[in-house]
Structure 1
Amino acid sequence: MSAPRNRRAGRPSEGVLTRDLILLTALKVLNRTGPDKFTMAALAGGLGVKPPALYHHVGRRGDILAGMREYVTAGIDTSVFSVLPWREAVAVWARSYRAAFAAHPYAIALLATLPVTGARRTLTMYEQTARGFREAGWPEDEVVNSIVALENFILGSALDAVAPADMFDAGDFAEEVPVFDAAVRARAWADRHASPADQAFEAGLAAMIDGLEARRKVLAAGA
């Protein structure tokens, strides 16, 4: 049987659209177009349907964005908070968080400032993370501040993970910035088994965890 005339072969009809298909396609479209050109029309085009069909399955644009965030954050490992000491658990959580967003770097600009209202999986991720902090002795009013501080570092590191390898190449101006140029070259030779972005992330993560743990102890002593 030939494909219906109102759509091209290989494209889904409105009847076979599912929420999962729409959200997965949305991430693919976002990765291809970037946040500025990510529209409902672009998503509908990626699915081979008209925009009204999307609203029937996933609701408004905000609902689609919330669903996209859930797909991205599903890759964040929070199970470690129930089996590992806080320092080790935070390190595993942070690495998985970075990897999840590095796979969809455009999602950072589009989703990082989106309220979590309605994103059940994302809220569950935060619940498990917050429990890990509380069980490690963090004061309740410091839990969110600490998580957000880590998130700010992690999301910046996720962007760095997909930045060009020659990000800090001074080029023709190397002689004018000799100290910086030497430092860049020294980093390249420091660890041949890890990318510069990974080296920076691990150094920053260790510093963040050390600093937060020191702060927790100070707060506990004050309490």
Structure 2
Amino acid sequence: MGRPRKALLDRARIGATALELVDERGDFSVPEVARRLGVQTASVYHHVDGRAGVIELLRERVTDAIDPGTLADARWDVALAAWAHSYRAAFAAHPRTIAMLMTSPVRAPKVLAHYDRVAGLLLDAGFAPEAVLAVITGLDNLVLGSALDMSAPDPMWEVAYGVDAPRLVAAQEASAPDRADAAFALTLAGYLAHLRALLGDAPEPAAR
């Protein structure tokens, strides 16, 4: 028999399979990825640099869903808000990846290029170079925390019979069904307002 026209294994399939495993149970191992693909573990290592390499493939697959066009708006704060919403949606689809990706260094060139665009946006807006990573990290924390919140149980606060928390119960009963979205909008608006204040900037008036 001749060689198959399509490679049996490539980086895209490895990343997709690892993401399936993480979505299912929150973690993966390289041998598990190999078994699911029907290949030897050594074959996977021919394509990636161990577990860390697979994590970067995971990162690329999740962040591919972030729309880079959101950063094209002329106003930095409008662009950053649109990017944050797209970023949140991408990770809300795969919340079990968050802990793994947040605690691993970012090495994937495609993802680094994406963050480089955000850094450029902030520098062009007038942020000092020493402030840029703090701004990006703060936004990361805000977005990824909210993405996790979207996968939280509803209701989040279970007040058992006999527990004295009447104000919390009343607040929960009065809250809108889109609590996670409302919380994200509130927090993001506050964060952007603080950043504008740091620059001495103000939002443009809305068109009438």
Q: Which AA in structure 2 matches 1:154? A: V
Residues in 2 aligned to 1:50 and 1:139: alpha-carbon distance in whole angstroms? 50
| Equivalent of 1:53 in 40, 43, 52 | 43
Residues in 1 aligned to 2:104 and 2:59: alpha-carbon distance in whole angstroms? 9
Q: Is the 8 A contact 2:18 2:58 kept in 1?
A: yes
Residue 3 of structure 2 corresponds to none
Residues in 2 aligned to 1:72 and 1:84: alpha-carbon distance in whole angstroms? 26
Q: Which AA in structure 1 matches 2:153? A: P
Q: Which AA in structure 2 matches 1:101? A: F
| Equivalent of 1:183 in 163, 171, 189 | 171
Residue 199 of structure 1 corresponds to 182
Report whether the alignment pairs 1:20 with 2:8.
Answer: no
Q: Is the 8 A contact 1:116 1:123 kept in 2?
A: yes
Q: TM-score, normalised by structure 2?
A: 0.87
| Equivalent of 1:43 in 24, 30, 33 | 33
Listed as ranges, the matches of 1:101-112 within 5 Å are 101-112=91-102
Q: TM-score, normalised by structure 1?
A: 0.82
Unaligned runs of 5+ in 1: 1-13, 219-223
RMSD (Å), alpha carbons: 1.8
Residues in 1 aligned to 2:188 and 2:173: alpha-carbon distance in whole angstroms? 22
Name the % identity. Answer: 39
Residue 131 of structure 1 corresponds to 120
Residue 142 of structure 1 corresponds to 131
Shift of the 173–34 alpha-carbon distance from structure 1 to 2, 3 Å rule, reads: farther
Cα deviations by residue, 1:31-56 (Å, 9 ceiling, x for unpaired): 11213xx2112212221222111111
Q: Is the 8 A contact 2:146 2:180 kept in 1?
A: yes
Structure with more helix by fraction: 1
Q: Is the 8 A contact 2:30 2:41 kept in 1?
A: yes
Listed as ranges, the matches of 1:27-38 within 5 Å are 27-35=19-27, 38=28
Q: Is the 8 A contact 1:76 1:125 kept in 2?
A: no
SS in 2 for 1:152: helix
Q: Is the 8 A contact 2:71 2:82 kept in 1?
A: no
Unaligned runs of 5+ in 2: 1-5, 202-208
CA drift at 1:21: 1.0
CA drift at 1:152: 0.7
Q: Is the 8 A contact 2:123 2:132 kept in 1?
A: yes
| Equivalent of 1:164 in 134, 139, 153 | 153
Q: Is the 8 A contact 1:78 1:129 kept in 2?
A: no
